[in-house]
Structure 1
Amino acid sequence: MDKRKLSNMLLILTALIWGSAFVAQSIGMEYIGPFTFGAARSILGGVTLLPVVFFRKKKSQANKGKAEPDEKKEKNEQRKTLLAGGICCGICLTIGSMAQQIGLQYTTAGKGGFITALYILIVPLLGLAFGRKAGKKVWCGVILAVVGMYFLCVKDGFSISKGDWIILAGSFAFAGHILVIDYFSPKVDGVCLSCLQFFICGMICAIPMLVSEQPTVNAVLVSWRPIVYAGVLSSGVGYTLQIIAQKNTDPTVASLLMSLESVFAVLAGWVILGERLSVREFVGCVLVFSAVIIAQLPERKAVSSGNRTVSE
């Protein structure tokens, strides 16, 4: 099997892990609050990545040997950048994950997965603020997603559940998280950035956890299975698989495969939790997922042919 096919399989596995995590989040909150769950899974995710960071650092030191003065200065600058990136990513991740976690108390895991997937559409919209123009297919995707959201979330009397609104707000935070990573990831080690952001997220979540939820040790121990799944697999393993896989596959293909997270969220909610979607909600799911795909399709580039302009 060539590297590209193997990478695509790893990305599908990543989407499966992330999509199934919605079920773990729903089950985990049967005994503990959202901030307790968020703090536990984030810190566990950071701890999971520590061995990876350690061995990568050892390997790097073995290959480079003794550092020169200029290299030491450069490393100090990278540490400062890493700290700034970790804090920014951690804050965005905290807002997004906690909005998602709280919202799942009022809506289903399947709907939560699809609404969260809208961050793929929100990213290019936020990019307009930085002068990044979105293509026609992205705007078509946005319109289609709005229609899909109507069928998925709007019930009798044009009401949208509180959980849907909260998770949608979390999608904006996740979009900001992606843009922050896009800025910092070329400057620092991606695994170190991920590890640091998890610890920052865990520490932030611990504050409201201790103030408002005050969890007992027994409650945390009862919820250990969903915490381990969400912390080790969804946070630690999922992110690491994404980094490894994206090195050997096309970015557009990678993003399309990872968007399958929303499909796996619905399937996991159906198989594990016994959740059911109405025909109206199912149509909304199909439209939103279609919008996610359309928004990521490459635009045709215009090329000049004599006095005419044609599309490739």
Structure 2
Amino acid sequence: MKQKSKAYVNLLLVVIFWGMTFPVQKNILEGLSPVFYNTLRFSIALIVLVPLRKKLGLKLTKKSLYQGLILGLFLSGGYVFQTWGLVYTTASKSAFITALYVGLVAIIGPIVERRVPSKYQILALGISLVGLYFLTTP
């Protein structure tokens, strides 16, 4: 199999598993609070990743610890708000709204790279915003 074909297959697998997490999380949240659920998830990740850090030979400095703490606060805040919203809506709506970060990349990317967005980026952003409108209005 060609390298490009492998990349497409792997991307498809990522999308399938990512999409499957929303209904699974919706079912899990029927018995747990979003904060407890995310605390549990991040604690398991911490337990698994700390020994791997040593195996990979990664050094933990004061600067990297501080930067990781700041990024971790934003990441955990995003996860808590996302799972909290999942309690009040359907899994498909939550997945769609979450996937709109792609639209944010279409907006922020050209600003950071100082270039004009392509017509396809503008079209994709417009379609996603229309979809969001239909999902969020009664």
Shorter-normalised TM range = 0.7 to 0.9
Q: How many residues align?
A: 137
**Structure 1 residue matching 2:10: 3-state secondary structure:** helix
Q: Which residue of 1 aligns with 2:84?
A: 102
Question: What is the TM-score normalised by the length of structure 1?
Answer: 0.39
The runs of 5 or more residues in structure 2 that have no matched partner are: none
Counterpart CA distance in 2 for 1:54 and 1:40 is: 22
Following superposition, the deviation at residue 35 of structure 1 comes to 0.1
> Match of 2:105?
123
1:135 counterpart residue number: 117
Deviations 1:19-52 (A, max 9, x none): 2111221111111101000100111123233444
Aligned counterparts of 1:91 and 1:45: Cα–Cα separation in 2: 15
Query: How many angstroms apart in 1 are the aligned matches of 2:14 and 2:42?
Result: 17
- Residues 121, 106 of structure 1: CA spacing in aligned structure 2 closer, same or farther, 3 A cutoff? same
Change (3 A) 1:48 1:96: same
Match of 2:29 in 1: 29
Contact 1:125 1:134 in 2 (8 A): no
- In the alignment, which residue of structure 2 is the partner of 1:149? 132
Is contact 2:106–2:117 with CA below 8 Å preserved after alignment?
Answer: no
Whether the 8 Å contact between 2:26 and 2:86 is mirrored in structure 1 is: yes
User: Quick one: structure 1 residues 55 and 15, their matched pair in 2 at CA, closer, same or farther if it must change by over 3 Å?
Assistant: farther
CA distance in 2 between counterparts of 1:56 and 1:4 reads 28
Within the alignment, does 1:5 sit opposite 2:10 as a pair? no
Q: Please give the secondary structure, in 1, of the residue aligned with 2:89.
A: coil
Is the contact made by 2:103 and 2:125 (CA closer than 8 Å) also made in structure 1? yes
Cα distance change of structure 1 residues 80 and 12 upon mapping to structure 2, 3 Å threshold:
farther
Larger Rg: 1
Residues 109 and 81 of structure 1, relative CA distance in 2, 3 Å threshold: same
Residues 97 and 134 (structure 1), Cα distance of their counterparts in 2 relative to 1, 3 Å cut: farther
Structure 1 portions without partners, runs of 5+: 61-74, 156-312
Residues 85 and 5 of structure 1, relative CA distance in 2, 3 Å threshold:
farther
More helix per residue: 2
CA separation of 1:52/1:18 partners in 2, compared to 1, >3 Å: closer, same or farther? Answer: farther
| CA gap 1:135/1:11 in 2 versus in 1, 3 angstroms | same
